[in-house]
C-alpha cells in the first residue's frame, strides 16, 4: 500500500520498515519509474553517482506526489554542500564515512538552523516553496532524516557514541568500504568483517536509533528487516537495469 506521507523520520519512529534504492544517474525518468514502483525512497548518490544539483532537483520534481521520498548521499561531510542540498528540498541526507561522534555532531549541526546548528537561513529556497511556506523553518529539523555511514574500523569502535548523538536518526553500515579498510575488499562473508558489522548492529539497536545497510536482493532485505534493520537500500537504477537485461538475454538464449 502506498503511503500518504513522505516524512520518513516519522515513519521510522512509528516502527515502519523502509525500503529504497539508489539512483546513480542524473535521469529524472529513472527516478520517476522507481518512485512509481512503491519504493519508500530513492536515494540520489552524489558520492559515487553522476548527477549534479540541478539534476537532483529535476529528480525531486519527477517523484513529487508519488508517496516516495527523495533522499541524497552527499559527497562528504561538507557543511556547504549539505546546506545547498537541504535548500534544494531533499527530504533526507546520508553522509559517508562518519568516524567519530564529533563528526556526527558536525553533520547534525549542518542540518539545523541556529541556535541548534549552523545551517544558513534563506527565505527563497525550493525547500520553503520559494518563500511561500515560511513554516518550513520551524519544521525542518523535525522532518529531515539524518543518516550517517559507519564504514571504517574507527567508526565501528565509535559506533555507540555516534549512535548516541542527538539528531542522528539512522546509523547506516557501509559493508564495502568497511571491507576495503580491512584489506578485504568485497569479501563480505569474511568472519572478521561480519564480527565488526555485528558490533555496529548491537550498538545501534541498543541505542534505540534506526539501523540501516545495503541489501542486494529482496530476499536479503526481508531477512535483515527480521533481524532488526529499519532502513535498507536494495540496488540502483543501473544495477536493476543491468540485471533485467541480463535475465532477458538468458531467457532469449543469448546469455
- Which positions are catalytic? 48
**C-alpha distances in angstroms, 23 versus 66, 70, 134, 219?**
16, 10, 30, 21
Give the dihedral sign, CA 18/3/44/74.
negative
For 208-234, letters b (16+ CB in 10 Å) and e give ebbbbbbbeeeeebeebbeeebbbbbb
3-state SS string over the chain? CCCCCCCHHHHHHCCCCEEEEEECCCCHHHHHHHHHCCCCEEEEECCCCCCCHHHHHHHHHHHCCCCCEEEEECCCCCHHHHHHHHHCCCCEEEECCCCCHHHHHHHHHHHCCCCCCCCCCCCCCHHHHHHCCCCHHHHHHHHCEEEEEECCHHHHHCHHHHHCCCCCCEEEECHHHHHHHCCCCCCCCCHHHHHHHHHHHHHHHHHCCEEEEECCCHHHHHHHHHCCCCEEEEEEHHHHHHHHHHHHHHHCCCC
Amino acid at each position: 500500500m502506498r503511503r500518504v506521507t513522505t516524512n520518513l523520520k516519522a515513519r521510522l519512529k512509528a516502527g515502519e520498515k523502509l525500503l529504497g534504492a539508489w539512483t546513480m544517474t542524473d535521469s529524472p525518468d529513472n527516478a520517476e519509474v522507481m518512485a512509481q514502483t512503491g519504493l519508500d525512497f530513492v536515494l540520489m548518490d552524489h558520492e559515487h553517482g553522476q548527477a549534479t544539483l540541478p539534476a537532483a532537483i529535476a529528480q525531486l520534481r519527477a517523484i513529487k506526489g508519488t508517496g516516495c521520498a527523495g533522499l541524497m548521499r552527499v559527497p562528504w561531510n561538507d557543511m556547504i554542500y549539505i546546506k545547498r542540498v537541504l535548500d534544494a528540498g531533499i527530504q533526507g541526507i546520508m553522509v559517508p564515512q562518519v568516524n567519530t561522534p564529533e563528526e556526527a555532531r558536525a553533520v547534525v549541526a549542518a542540518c539545523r538552523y541556529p541556535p541548534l546548528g549552523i545551517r544558513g537561513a534563506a527565505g527563497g529556497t525550493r525547500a520553503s516553496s520559494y518563500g511561500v511556506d515560511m513554516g518550513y523553518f520551524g519544521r525542518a529539523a523535525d522532518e529531515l532524516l539524518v543518516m550517517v555511514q559507519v564504514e571504517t574500523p574507527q567508526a565501528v569502535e565509535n559506533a555507540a557514541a555516534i549512535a548516541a548523538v542527538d539528531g542522528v536518526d539512522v546509523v547506516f553500515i557501509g559493508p564495502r568500504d568497511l571491507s576495503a579498510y580491512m584489506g578485504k575488499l568485497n569479501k563480505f562473508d569474511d568472519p572478521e568483517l561480519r564480527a565488526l558489522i555485528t558490533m555496529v548492529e548491537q550498538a545501534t539497536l541498543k541505542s534505540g536509533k534506526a539501523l540501516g545497510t545495503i541489501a542486494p536482493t529482496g530476499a536479503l532485505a526481508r531477512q535483515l528487516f527480521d533481524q532488526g534493520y529499519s532502513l535498507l537500500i536494495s540496488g540502483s537504477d543501473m544495477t536493476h537495469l543491468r540485471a533485467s537485461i541480463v535475465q532477458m538475454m538468458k531467457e532469449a538464449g543469448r546469455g
